[in-house]
Amino acid sequence: MPYTSIPIRVGAAALCSVVASLAHGQSFTEGPDAGQLIGSAGFTGPLAFQPLTSINGTLTPIGSPSSDVDLFIINIIPSTFSASTVNAGTGSGLDTVLFLFELSGAPILLNDDASGGTSLGSTIPVGSVGGVARSIVLGIAPAGIDPVTAANQFLFANSLNSTDLRGPNPNVTGILGGYLDAGFANNGGSYQVDLTGATTAVPEASTVLAGAFAAGSAGFAFLRRRRSAAPQQPS
């Protein structure tokens, strides 16, 4: 699927300096509904490079006409970055999956169940993400939703354990083109993604229209539900 990235200028030194100089973080609440593809991912402003401690939102139940996946653009410092839905702000009946993408739509990491298996929440621990300080896309969905390419190839490696961190699928080269639904009976609900090593991201004025165009042109492929045909993934 063609995709035009939304450029966000992130200097590693500048980002580190901002995070170090600002002591108090802030929480961002979804509104309106965050998009499901890279071009329609939600920004976390209104001001850029403010320490971001959490993102709050709602996932609608699988099978409803609304969104089942929320994507957000954030800035990160990999050495201190973490993300988790193991908290009181995430509904007790909501089984989440967290995934990370580069702005290009290339996969980084996915986690279904936090290590230990005592929670339906998901966690990407500190030190899991490599590379330099940059903007990435954080995604959250009900368990059973798997990101795929436009050709329905799984972007993340398979695993027998739901608590594993799953990196990019070594047999697939591609970017986010949609999702496959494994057919798990999963309710929606409110979530809270706790963050460390993250700051807010806002669109540059010159790229807002480009982002809107990308979101509109890609919208037809927002979610491919294949309950009967999709390969089963561990929950």
Q: What is the pLDDT of residue 170?
A: 96
Query: Which residue matches tokens 């047999």?
Result: 171
Mean pLDDT of 162-175: 96
For residue 181, what pLDDT is reported? 83
pLDDT in tens, 114-145: 988 778 899 999 999 999 999 999 999 988 88
Domain assignment present for 36: yes
pLDDT of residue 144: 85
* Number of other CB atoms surrounding residue 77 within 10 Å: 20
Report the CATH number that the domain containing residue 16 is assigned in CATH: 2.60.120.380
Is pLDDT at 104 greater than 50 in this prediction? yes
- Residue 230 included in any domain: no
Domain with 134, as residue range(s), is 12-161+168-221
Question: Residue 110 above 80 pLDDT?
Answer: yes
CA distance 191 to 89: 6
- Report the pLDDT value the prediction gives residue 186, as an integer from 0 to 100: 61
3-state helix, strand, coil in the chain (%, to 5): 15, 30, 55
Lowest-pLDDT choice from 76-85, 144-153, 191-200, 201-210: 201-210
Tally of domains within the chain: 1
- For the entire predicted model, the pTM comes to 0.78
